Amino acid sequence: MNTVITMLLILIHGIFTDQLEREIALRLIESADDIEKLNVSRLAGKCQCSAASIHKFCRRLGFDDFRTMKAQMKLTMDVRRGQLEHHMNWTKEEDVLKRISALSYGDTDIGLFAKTAAEINRMIHESPRVILLGAGFPEALTLHYQEDMIMMHKTVYSVPVGYKLTMPADVFDSTVLVISLTGRIIDYFQHQFIELTRRNPNVVMISGKTSFSQLNDSIKILPLAIEGDNEDANTLLVEVMRYMKYMYYMTYGGC
């Protein structure tokens, strides 16, 4: 995952990233498929900043200028797409489902899980972008998923959550994946999530908690059969995101 895309996703997710850097990183993610056609003036216009600010951003990432960063971004994306295709060709759905079942606490209806995952992937496919919300660590475990979905031509990024949660403007017309092993994030930011689910029918809870009575009934829940917030739960989340990514690849085409 040593790609320019990875660095951009980490910047977007960072609580201490300033607003302009987050905006530049996000616009680059959105332009990933057409990065060769993107010039510094056009990017500066999208970000409402100067070309000098774009070059400064690139230097902070270790590149000489925007042209150098753009070339490296294209190169590492090509390499990553080749790796992704190799991994997907060797992956078997039944093997991933077996790992999910083995990591789950108690009985798990794997058939229902797979059906729900397919419905969520359909929502993702039909949506202009995917935004992930969640506490710092479980959300960080989805970085591999985010990068590979971008390789499959879907804009994906995560919103940093500290002691304050500010919803981005485009959250209301996106598919939103809320990653919360315990569901506590809903209690902490109840008013924001009530407003989100009232205005957006495409909200998915990926959580060990399976009932959110305070939220709109339209939310879809992909339950994690876990017993508390522990390493087994973290590993299960990684496998669930692996399954989601694999089935998206197989259903809607690869890179």
- pTM given for the model: 0.94
pLDDT band at 1 (very low <50, low <70, confident <90, very high): low
User: Which of the listed residues 33, 57, 79 is the one where a domain comes to its end?
Assistant: 79
Instruction: Reply yes or no on whether the pLDDT at 163 is more than 80.
Output: no
233-253 residue pLDDT tens:
999 999 999 999 999 999 998
Q: Which residue has the higher pLDDT, 168 or 2?
A: 168
175-180 β-sheet, strand order: 155-159, 129-134, 175-180, 203-207, 220-223
Count of domains forming the chain: 2
pLDDT band at 178 (very low <50, low <70, confident <90, very high): very high
- Among 82-91, 170-179, 222-231, 245-254, which stretch is predicted with the lowest mean pLDDT? 222-231
One domain, residues 73 and 99: no
* 153: containing domain: 91-252
One domain, residues 121 and 190: yes
Q: Is residue 29 part of a domain?
A: yes
One domain, residues 129 and 230: yes
User: Which of the listed residues 79, 105, 139 is the one where a domain comes to its end?
Assistant: 79
One domain, residues 9 and 69: yes
